[in-house]
Every structure is written in C-alpha cells, then in structure tokens.
Amino acid sequence: MFELENERTELLEQIEELIQRKRYAQLRDMLLPLEAADIASICADLDEERLPLVFRLLPKELAAEVFVELDSDEQEMLIRGFSNTELKEVLDELYLDDTVDIVEEMPANVVKRILKHSDPETRKSINEILKYPDDSAGSIMTTEFVDLRETMTVEDALKRIRRTGPDKETINICYVIDDRRHLIGLLSIRTLLLAEDDDIIGDIMERNFIAVQTLDDQEAVARALSKYDFLALPVVDTEERLVGIVTVDDAMDVLQEEVTEDIEKMAAILPSDKPYLKTSTLETYKARIPWLLLLMISATFTGQIISSFEDALAAATILTAYIPMLMDTGGNCGSQASVTVIRGISLNEIEFSDIFRVIWKEIRVAVVCGATLAAANFVKLMLVDRLLFHNAAMTIPVAAVICCTMVCTVLCAKLVGCSLPLLAKKIGFDPAVMASPFITTIVDALSLLIYFRFATLLLGI
Amino acid sequence: MFELENERTELLEQIEELIQRKRYAQLRDMLLPLEAADIASICADLDEERLPLVFRLLPKELAAEVFVELDSDEQEMLIRGFSNTELKEVLDELYLDDTVDIVEEMPANVVKRILKHSDPETRKSINEILKYPDDSAGSIMTTEFVDLRETMTVEDALKRIRRTGPDKETINICYVIDDRRHLIGLLSIRTLLLAEDDDIIGDIMERNFIAVQTLDDQEAVARALSKYDFLALPVVDTEERLVGIVTVDDAMDVLQEEVTEDIEKMAAILPSDKPYLKTSTLETYKARIPWLLLLMISATFTGQIISSFEDALAAATILTAYIPMLMDTGGNCGSQASVTVIRGISLNEIEFSDIFRVIWKEIRVAVVCGATLAAANFVKLMLVDRLLFHNAAMTIPVAAVICCTMVCTVLCAKLVGCSLPLLAKKIGFDPAVMASPFITTIVDALSLLIYFRFATLLLGI
C-alpha cells in the first residue's frame, strides 16, 4: 500500500503498454491482487476511453467494489456506457448504501435508468433512504442488516446468517426485533459463536443498547460510534422500529468530511464536498469570495480608526511602525484561543456551561502570555531599536505605550477568541465560523483603539 | 445517548443521593444499563472519594471497560486504592492494547505494580509493545488476535475461535500464519461462517492482503484502515512475521488526535494531547508562547518596511488608513489557499508532484478573486469615501494604488499560501505549520512592499 504511491507511475505505464499490446489477460492478472480503492485511484489516472475497457476485465464482485470507489464523473461515464445487462450486474453487486450515494450524485436521467434496472425491493429502499435529509443518520444508513428473533436458538440464528449473510453489509452485529419490527436487542457474532447451539437468542442478547433516530445528525452519529467503539449503530424511526444501520466505515468518512468542513470554515472558506484538484476555478472562487468581501469591508472600519487618529500619528510617526506587529500578535492570540475552543466544542469536550471556566482560564493564560510578549518587546525596543539603530524617537514612554497595548490586546484577543465560538454555539450558529479571520478583524480594531488610548494617555498627544 | 447530556445533572444528583442513603443495590441497577463510556464520564464528575465506591459496585467486566475510559488521573487514583487482588482482577479483564495505553500514562511505581500483577505472558507482551516508538503502528497494535493455520478445516478454525475467542480483541478477521509465524493470508468471520465445514482454510483465505510494519507511522496506518474500509490491519515485523493487529476503533482515535494536532499547528499552537479543560495554565502558556514570540519578532520586519516609507506616508497620509484592509485581505487569501492545500496533503489528495497544477489553479482563482475585491473596493472608495464622506484626498490615482495593490497582494498571498505547505512537505517539514499565522506574517510584508511600490509609481512620491 505505502509502496504503491511510488510504484504508481510505473504501474500506469505498464497498464498503458498492456492495453496497447492488447494483453488483456496479463493486465487482468496484474490488477487482481490490488485493493479496490487502489484500482479506482489508478483508473482515475487512465485516459477516459481506457476506463470501460479496464473495468470490464475485472470479475463482477471486484468490479462493483472498484465502481463504488470511483469519482462520480467516472461513475457517470461508465453507467452511460453500460448495456442494460451490465448495469444490472453492477447494481446487483452493490450494497444499498453505496447505491444511494451514487444515485445522489447522478443527473436525473441516469438516476431513472439506475432505478429502472434495480429490483423492485432495492428500488423501494433507495427511494426510502433518498427521502431523508442530507446529513441525517437516515441518509447514510444501509437497510441490509441481519435481523433475528428473540425466540430463535443460536443454531437457528447461525443458519439464518449463513442463508442471508452474503447480501448483508455486515454480519458482525445482529439485531433482534419483535413482530412489529421494534428493536429489542442486539448481539455480536462473537457472542453467537461462543454460545451453545441451543441457547435462546432472547437470553444471550444485549438488551441495553444505543440506537439513533433517522433524523439525528450524521456527525453526532459518527461521534457516538467513535466514542463507544461500536462497529455499527442501529437506526430506528419515530416509532422505535428498526429501519437500518450505520457502519463504522461510513462513520469514518463522515468524520473526515466534517473535519474538512470545519477546517475550511475556520479559514473563511465556504465548505465544498469535492477534492481540491477536482473543483473548477469558478467553484473555488465562489467558495472563497463571500468571506473575503465581508472581511474586507469589516477591515475598512479598522482603517477608519487609523484615519480618526491621524493627528496623533502625525505627532508621533514612530507609532505607525508598530501597528502591524500589534495587530498580528493580537490576531494570533485570538485565533489560538478560538481554534482551541472550536475544536473542543466539536469533540464535545467543551459545553456552553463551561464558558466561565474557559474565560477564567484564558484570562490567566493571556496575562502570562501578554507579560512575556511585552517584556520581550521592551527589551527588543530598547536594545535593538534605540541602542543599535539609534532611533531617538524610541523613548521609554513610547516603549511603554507599545508594551501596555500588547498586554491589553492579548487579553482582549484571548477573551474575544474564546467566548465568540461558545456564544455562536449557544445561539445556534456554527462555532467554526468564529475562527481566525473573523476574530482577527475584530481584534485589529480593538488593538488600534487600545493603542491610541495609551498613546493619548502616556504621550499626551 | 443524546438524551444523556441533558439528563446527566439529574443522574449525578440521584447517584449522590443513593450513595448518601447507602442504597448501593439500587445505584448498581441504575448504572448497569449504561454504556461504559457514559459511566466513565459520570465518574469524572463525581467527588474523588466516591469513585472507588461506585467502581466497586460494577460487575468485573463492566468495571474493566469503565476503567479503560477513565482519565489517567482517575485511573491512577483507583490503582493506588486497589488491593492486589482487585488490581489483578481488573488487569485480567483488560485488552492488551488498553493495558499498554494505561501503563504509558502512569508514574514508574504504579507501572511496577501493574507489571508485577500481570501474568508473565502479558507482561512480556506489554514490554514488547512499550519498546515501539510513539506514533508507530507497533505502539497502537494489540497482540490479541485469532491466528489460524492454512491446513485447518473451517470446522477446526471455528473450534479454535470458540476456544480462544473470549480473550481476543476481535474475531471479525482471522489471520493465517505458517510455521515461522509469517502472515500468509486472512479471512473474515463472514467467509468462515458462509463456508462449508470441511473447506480448507488455505483454499478460502484471501492471499492478497495489506499489512503494515511495526515502525510505520500510526497516522498512515489509520488512513489506510479508513481508505480501504477495513476493520483491522495486520502488523508485521521486518521479517514479515505477524506480531499484532491495529483495530478500527484505535484508528479512529488516532485520526481524531492527528486532526486536533493539525488544527492546533495551523493556529500556531504546539500540539498537546490533553483536552483543553484538563491542561494547566502553564501548559497552555507553553504551547502558545513560542509561536507568538517568533511571529511577533517576524512582524517587526513589517514595521521596518513602514518606517522606511515614512516619507511616502507623510506625503500621502490617506494611504495609512488602508494598510489594515490590504494586510488583512492578503492574510485571509493566503490562509484560504494554505489551509486548503494542507488539508489536501493530509488526506493524500495532493502530492508534491501536483505543485504546478496547484499553482496554476491558484493563479486563476487569485485573478478572479483579486479583480472582484479590487472592483468592490474601487466602488466603495469612490462612492463612500469620496462622495459620501467628502474625502478630497481620495483621488482616482489613490484609489488606483489601493486597487492595484489589492490584485497583486491577492495573487502573491495565494501563491505563497499554496506553495509553502507543499515545499515544507518536500523538505520533510510539517505542512500544517505553514498555515494562517505564518503565511500572514509573510504576506503582510509583501503587501506593504507592493503598496509602497504602486504609491511611488502612480502618485510620484
């Protein structure tokens, strides 16, 4: 796997050569030992017209696995090229949740064709799942799970698993339902295997279990799977009937997507669900420009503050040179605090009720940070700017203005940085938006106001 | 589960009351239906002296599960309070990788006691795993897996699983080894269950598998688990002998920690492995101050640039007011590009070899973003600053200086932002460090140089 990244160019050349020399059997033998995800990533680098050829060489089951891993553009191209029989074959091999993922990305006419060639039961399930809102547990669940009855013996259960198992997404956890499909318990394949053949399911199943609702947020569901170290979570409808399961592999994908979204929001980008190199210039532009415009407009207020203190700056021009340093340090302090708190919120480590503990902690951190930075600054101003560069304008009062501003700016920045995400969360906004760029804009204005206040006080201008 | 967050205060009060009234049986019944992770999180909120009491009420197996989920402080307190028999009982119930995690966090005298009361085989395994470097696959693996032989029948294999299964971390995937413990294949419990009793393991096992080395990076291992949707990955030593497995639950934890680390680095914080509210002021200070100091010192160069253009600023004081807006926008553009690229690198979507594609893409995005921002700015400068506020100093040439600077700054910022993380990766540095704060400092200086260059050119000062 890790070797693959390096061997890939070589592999691609070999494939290209084998295709040109029409050595298809050899090509097939070369692909077979690879993992589906790796074959898909190789397919992505092939010429478009090669893809159907390579795809058709693969055995049915592997072909379906590869198909799932392809990008939606490539999937669409393949589907458009498929004969009806081929389409049906691939669809029959797919797990239901993967089919739903594919259907969600396809244009309407392709969806129609997919639904037409799915068997009626699958079609019904697909339509069911499509009804759930994006980002809900229902939208990522699969309906292919093993269901057992309380009255079965272990032997019955194992027989049932042997019979229906091949079509199930997982057999590692089995779900026990009653006549009205209410979920009443679950048990792992391990419990089943370690039990005696004539044990009764109702006696050995786990009756204390955690289930999620179809409309629960997919991120919360994924976090629960990770928190409790489960391999799957049952999904029930409002009447507590079992309708599907969410498996750990899907949960990992959700967590990964949500993290990317959070990171994008923290960097003032509207989240997108495509990989960077697959987005067009226009899409990237659209994701970035709204926040840039908004933040640019807010930053003009900072400019207004400078303008309104033009006289003070004219009286002590040396002050201008330290504006960037004060603004940048304030911004950095603020984003340290906000990013820490945002991550804490998304990991459920910090709740709104912790706000006073958070603020008290940030005050203490800000005081020591501010003092250290101010002290370092004072030494630098005196030794470098005054003694080394003989800057006569750098007097002790000027240095005092800069250092006092530093302490106050750090304090303000940390307070704004730690409290805004929590407040955003409280009023139902996304805390991730309250990250560096947003905080920086606020802190810039604050640091200038503090700076000019100290200048007026200490320099009498 | 989701209800629990709200019910928790109530639950805590009930527990407190039951303890005071010494209703231990009732308390036990209340705790039994809960998940281990939830009991642990409730324990964390109890008074310290209550913890051993509650812990001793739990049945052995659940107690061990709860123990694993506790914070290391609480674990240490419990261990110090345990009798030798109690300690041995808990240790016997733990999975090996959890024991190792606990041992890693404990002070030396506690570790000694733990090792003294583990059985000799476990002690040997713990010592083995402790030898692997932090962040390696070896350090997160468990040695408790099911190993089978090629020549076994399915019936033999199932018997072996039934006999040894209770002590194994997972039985969902079984590993086939030869006489010298070389890994030669693997098969899932599903394959086993769906096979005939007299099938031979060697015939039905999967011979194409992916294994990692003990010294591979834990993040790469976790990403592989997620990429291939595996439930576990085998870990082999340099001689291809199977020494352990990494399971998906541990991989999820690793991914989560690594993301937190990346986010912290992006916000100029040295990564820590404790939750925010558990770190002391001093620890938080130490994690934040190095970058703050470094960035503060670099920001003084920006100040030097302003000083050296003092005359230009004196000739056109209006220019000062637009410095924050230009610097902030540049910083935001840079961090958008850098954060996108950093995330792409850590998801393996972007490689160093993509650098020219990335740069070309950022150039196009920068041109449209820059043009939009400059246009918006020009309109605002003319309509608001000039017409509305009657600022006579805001002439067309001044506006032109600001808008030209905007376009160039955005372009520079995007280029620096997208290329630095890739270059850092190439020379073996951590790309995450090349995020907003670092980029901002560089872009600030660049934007000022561009600003004054245009001012000199267009305003003739």
The reported pLDDT for the residue numbered B407 is 95
What number of other Cβ atoms are within 10 A of residue A376's Cβ? 17
Contact list in A for residue B349 (CB cut-off 8 A) is 275-277
Phi, psi values for residue A339, rounded to 5°: -65, -40
Phi, psi values for residue B394, rounded to 5°: -80, 85
Q: Is the pLDDT of residue B217 over 70?
A: yes
Contact list in A for residue B42 (CB cut-off 8 A) is none
Write down the mean pLDDT value for chain A.
87
Nearest to B259 among A190, A253, A259 (CB): A259
* Dihedral angle computed from the Cα positions of residues A91, A97, A100 and A105, in that order, rounded to the nearest 10 degrees: -100
The reported pLDDT for the residue numbered A298 is 83
pLDDT digits (tens, 9 = 90+) for B249-292: 889 989 888 888 888 888 888 887 778 888 888 888 888 888 88
Q: How many whole angstroms separate alpha carbon B138 and alpha carbon B132?
A: 6
Provide the residue ranges of all domains of chain A, joining segments of one domain with +: 4-131, 147-263, 276-459
ipTM of model over 0.85: no
Chain A CB within 8 Å of residue B234 CB = no
Q: A1 pLDDT band (50/70/90 cuts)?
A: very low
Q: Is the pLDDT of residue B40 over 70?
A: yes
More confident residue, B188 or B125: B188
Structural contact between residues A330 and A409, judged by C-beta atoms closer than 8 angstroms: yes
Q: A183 pLDDT band (50/70/90 cuts)?
A: very high
Q: Is the pLDDT of residue B2 over 60?
A: no
Contact list in A for residue B259 (CB cut-off 8 A) is 259
Burial of A115 from C-beta contacts in 10 A (0-12 / 13-18 / 19+): middle
Pick the CATH number of A147-263 from 3.10.580.10, 3.40.50.300, 3.30.413.10, 3.40.50.261: 3.10.580.10
Q: Is the pLDDT of residue B3 over 60?
A: no
Selected residues 178-207 of chain A with any CB under 8 Å from a CB in chain B: 189-190, 193-194
Q: Is the pLDDT of residue B368 over 90?
A: yes
The reported pLDDT for the residue numbered A6 is 59
The reported pLDDT for the residue numbered A234 is 94
* Mean pLDDT across A365-387: 91
The reported pLDDT for the residue numbered A97 is 82
The pLDDT > 90 percentage for chain B reads 26
Structural contact between residues B246 and B137, judged by C-beta atoms closer than 8 angstroms: yes
More confident residue, A31 or B461: A31
Contact list in B for residue A324 (CB cut-off 8 A) is 299, 302-303, 306, 323, 327, 444, 448
Range A376-380 contact pairs with CB under 8 angstroms and sequence separation of 24 or more:
A376/B293, A376/B296, A376/B297, A377/A402, A377/A403, A377/A406, A377/B296, A378/A403, A380/B297, A380/B300
Phi, psi values for residue A218, rounded to 5°: -60, -30
Q: Is the pLDDT of residue B435 over 80?
A: no
Fold of B276-459: Tetracycline Repressor; domain 2 (1.10.357)
pLDDT digits (tens, 9 = 90+) for A303-325: 888 888 888 777 787 888 888 88
Pick the CATH number of B147-264 from 3.90.1150.10, 3.30.70.380, 3.10.580.10, 3.40.50.720: 3.10.580.10
When scoring B98, B163, B263, B409 by the number of chain A Cβ atoms within 10 A, the one with the most, hence best to mutate, is B263
> Residue A145: which of A105, A202, A192, A183 has the closest Cα?
A183
Q: B409 pLDDT band (50/70/90 cuts)?
A: very high
Q: Is the pLDDT of residue A4 over 70?
A: no
Helices (H), B165-197: 189-194
Contact list in B for residue A161 (CB cut-off 8 A) is 193
Side chain identity at residue B369, one-letter code: C
When scoring A302, A336, A355 by the number of chain B Cβ atoms within 10 A, the one with the most, hence best to mutate, is A336
More confident residue, B447 or A118: B447
Q: B6 pLDDT band (50/70/90 cuts)?
A: low
Which residue is listed with tokens 């006999």?
A: B163
Q: Is the pLDDT of residue A185 over 90?
A: yes
pLDDT digits (tens, 9 = 90+) for A410-426: 999 999 999 999 998 88
The reported pLDDT for the residue numbered A2 is 43
Q: How many whole angstroms separate alpha carbon B455 and alpha carbon B457?
A: 5
More confident residue, B182 or B437: B182
The reported pLDDT for the residue numbered A203 is 93
Nearest chain A alpha carbon to B172: A172
The reported pLDDT for the residue numbered B78 is 86
The reported pLDDT for the residue numbered A278 is 82
Pick the CATH number of A4-131 from 3.40.640.10, 1.25.60.10, 1.10.10.10, 1.20.1440.230: 1.25.60.10
- Contact across the interface for B292 and A193, Cβ inside 8 Å: no
Range A47-56 contact pairs with CB under 8 angstroms and sequence separation of 24 or more:
A48/A77, A50/A15, A50/A16, A50/A19, A51/A77, A51/A78, A52/A77, A52/A78, A52/A81, A53/A19, A54/A15, A54/A19, A54/A27, A56/A86
* Mean pLDDT across A218-224: 90
Chain A CB within 8 Å of residue B218 CB = no
The reported pLDDT for the residue numbered A5 is 55
Q: How many whole angstroms separate alpha carbon A385 and alpha carbon B390?
A: 39
* Mean pLDDT across A111-119: 84
Report which listed range, A177-181, A456-460, B100-104, is most confident: A177-181
